[in-house]
Amino acid sequence: MRPVPDEVKTPRTYDSSLRARQAADRRLALASAAKDLFVELGYPATTMDAVASRANVSLKTVYNAYASKSGLLRAVWDMSLKGDLDEAPVAERPWYTSLMSEPDPRRQVAMTAAASRVVKTRIGPMLKVIRDAAPVDEDLAALWELIQTDFWANQHAIIESLDTKGALRPGLDIDHATDLLWTLNHPDVWLLLVDGRGWTPEEWETWFADACQRQLLAPR
């Protein structure tokens, strides 16, 4: 009688990419829930317990995804700024690279205005949360400073791109032009006009594009 061979057990294949996608989806859902709470309650009053309750998950799940409330807020900021939790910086986003490669200066300014409107519509509520909490929270103060630094650097890159085309107004140097663009495009100005004065995002875009052309570009 021939012996019956032991059953060969095939190793269970593990779909790591599926698990990674599930983890990313979970992080995104938690960040979305946290954003709603930060906007509704402010940063100090929002707890990790409240985020867990809003997302219908355990507190442990929240801490497994984000080690701290300040880390969670940074993720919410990134999601608001970029539209997702992808780690690719703004400078590597297709809309930004397209803007920077545009050969026509006036078209480039118009693209900057359109992109800024889209981004500021997303980030406006969180800007207020971070700005208001920065004076009383060291982590948020550091984040607010980083936001300002990164924002100025992005404006500087746009001005350098315009300068290489010979498009800047005569007598306007790169640093001064960057300061002008930084001021016109600053989130605080958006909040003053859109939230404070009731402008529509489209009205802001039209004003911003016109102001940039008048303040930055050489006459045709």
Domain ranges of the chain: 17-87, 88-220
Query: What's the rounded Cα separation, in Å, for the pair 38 and 92?
Result: 28
Q: What's the whole-number average pLDDT of the chain?
A: 89
- What separation in angstroms does the CA of 46 have from each of 17, 37, 42, 210? 32, 6, 6, 40
| 182-186: long-range contacts, CB 8 A cutoff, minimum separation 24 | 182/151, 182/152, 182/155, 184/208, 184/211, 184/212, 184/215, 185/112, 185/116, 185/151, 185/155, 185/212, 186/151
Mean pLDDT of 137-144: 91
Quote the tokens at residue 104: 């026509």
In CATH terms, the fold of domain 88-220 is Tetracycline Repressor; domain 2 (1.10.357)
The per-residue pLDDT for range 152-172, each reduced to its tens digit, is 999 999 999 999 999 999 999
pLDDT for 99 beyond 70: yes
Assign 216 a pLDDT band (cuts: 50, 70, 90): very high
In CATH terms, the fold of domain 17-87 is Tetracycline Repressor; domain 2 (1.10.357)
- Check residues 210 and 97 and name the one with the higher pLDDT: 210
- Check residues 149 and 2 and name the one with the higher pLDDT: 149
| Intrachain domains 17-87 and 88-220 with the same fold | yes
pLDDT at position 86: 65
pLDDT for 104 beyond 60: yes
Among 94-108, 167-181, 195-209, the range scoring the smallest mean pLDDT is 94-108
Q: What is the pTM of this model?
A: 0.79
Assign 11 a pLDDT band (cuts: 50, 70, 90): very low
